[in-house]
Amino acid sequence: MKKIGILGGMSWESTVTYYQLINRMVNQHFGGLHSADCLISSVNFEEIEQLQAQGEWEKAGEILKKEALNLEIAGAEGILLATNTMQKVAEQIEEKISVPFLHIVDAVAEEADHMEISRVGLLGTKYTLKLNFFTKRLSDQSIDSILPSDNQIEEINRIIFEELVQGELHNSSKDYFIKVMQELKQNGAEAIVLGCTEIGLLIKEDDFPLPLIDTTAVHAKKAIEWAIQ
């Protein structure tokens, strides 16, 4: 089994979920007392979030590529960036490391292709939804994205940063997400992508009639498939 390098902390709440999923999958595959061979680097999310808000993506990328290289030096044979929004700087990271970079959007596209779905409703931070790094990479793999309205994007972003990354789960916010998801369905979405690693803490598979693609879950799955192949 290859050693996975997890670059997390964005937020630490979802990094916990990654660690749990990856270890469960390894144990399910091998049985016994098997767990994942992995390394974790958890950054200070406050610093990263401030750079996001200021549009200083290159500076944020400098921090993350340094941490990714540290993981490689420590023995990681592949790097998993445990966040959707910061895939914005994936190319900066890939240029710095010599081991495989396991891109979260590729995991989403593979899952959608497996489900024979070509139009997805996308939820996430305002950066993920308004900048084109996520939707373009999906489009390059023949997956079209349907987005919430601008007002909905702002409220989703507020819920993510003021509640979910703090570990706060409110029924009113869950109801709001489901209302937005219903509109995405009406606009032609065949599945809903939970395109922020914290959304899966709030929205579960049985909460909505359409298939859900939880980026955290499919990313962890892709990492394990890579590690044990």
Q: Return the active site residues.
A: 83, 196
Q: Write b or e for each residue in 1-18: b if 16 or more Cβ atoms lie within 10 A of its Cβ, otherwise e.
A: ebbbbbbbbbbebbbebb
Chain Cα centroid distance, residue 68: 17
H or E segment to which residue 186 belongs: helix 171-186
Task: Kindly report the number of other CB atoms within 10 A of residue 79's CB atom.
Answer: 29
Contact 157/199 with Cβ under 8 angstroms? no
Q: Report the alpha-carbon distance of residue 121 to residue 146 in Å, rounded.
A: 5
Residues in CB range of 12: below 8 A, 6 or more apart: 42, 45
